[in-house]
Chains A and B, each alone.
Chain A
Amino acid sequence: MLSQIEGSLAVARSVMRCRPEVVAAYPISPQTHIVEGLADLVRTGELSPCEYLMVESEFGAMSACIGASAAGARAYTATASQGLLFMAEALYNASGLGLPVVMTVANRAIGAPINIWNDHSDAMSQRDSGWVQLYAESNQEAVDLHIQAFRLAEQLSVPVMVCMDGFILTHAVERVEIPEQAEVDRFLPPFTPRQLLDPAHPQTIGAMVGPEAFTEVKYLMHAKQMEALDQIPAIAGEFEASFGRAAGGLVRGHRIEDADTVVVALGSVLGTIEDVVDSMRADGVRIGALGIKSFRPWPAEEVREALAGAGRVVVVEKAFAVGAGGIVGQNVRLALSGTAPVVFDVVAGLGGRAITRASLRGLFEDVLADRVVPDRLHFLDLNTELVERELDRSRRGLIGAHAERMLRDLGTAGAGPY
Chain B
Amino acid sequence: MLKVRVHGRGGQGAVTAAALLSHAAFAEGRHAQAFPTFGSERTGAPVVAFCRIDDEPIRIHEPISEPDALIVQDATLLHQVNVFDGLRPEGYVLLNSSRTLDELGVAEVRTGRRPDRLLTVPATAYARRYLGQPRPNAALLGGFAALTGAVSLGSVLDAIRERFPGPVGEANAKAARDAFDDVAQHRRQLADA
Binding site for B on A (CB under 8 A): 4, 6, 29-30, 116-117, 138, 165, 167-169, 171-175, 268-269, 271-272, 274-275, 354-357, 414-418
Contact = CB atoms under 8 A, between A and B. Distances in A.
B58 interface: yes
**Chain A contact residues, majority secondary structure:** loop
Contact of A416 (B40, B59, B60, B62): B40
Contacts of A356: 62-63, 65
B32 interface: yes
Interface in B81-121: none
Given A4-B23, A6-B19, 8 more contacts: A171-B35, A173-B33, A174-B32, A174-B33, A357-B60, A417-B63, A418-B48, A418-B63
21 contacts: A4-B22, A4-B26, A167-B36, A167-B38, A168-B35, A171-B36, A172-B34, A174-B32, A174-B34, A175-B32, A268-B61, A271-B59, A272-B60, A272-B61, A274-B59, A357-B60, A414-B40, A416-B37, A416-B39, A416-B40, A417-B38
Given A4-B26, A173-B19, A173-B22, A116 B62 contact: no
Contact of B61 (A6, A269, A417): A269
Pick from B32, B36, B60, B61 the residue with the most CB of A within 10 Å: B61
B8 to A, nearest CB: 12
Interface residues on B, range: 20 to 34
A16 to B, nearest CB: 21
Nearest to A172: B35
B31 interface: yes
B59 A275 contact: yes
Contacts of B27: 4
B35 A417 contact: no
B71 to A, nearest CB: 15
Pick from B19, B48, B62 the residue with the most CB of A within 10 Å: B62
Contacts of A29: 38
Contacts of B45: 414
Given A415-B39, A415-B40, A416-B39, A168 B34 contact: no
Contacts of B23: 4, 173
A267 to B, nearest CB: 9
Contacts of A268: 61
Give me the 3 closest cross-chain CB pairs, A-B, nearest first: A416-B39, A271-B59, A4-B26
B62 A4 contact: no
Given A6-B19, A175-B26, A356-B65, A275 B60 contact: yes
A418 B19 contact: no
A175 B61 contact: no
Contacts of B33: 172-174
Pick from A165, A354, A416 the residue with the most CB of B within 10 Å: A416
Contacts of A418: 37, 39, 48, 63
Nearest to B40: A414
Contacts of A414: 39-40, 45
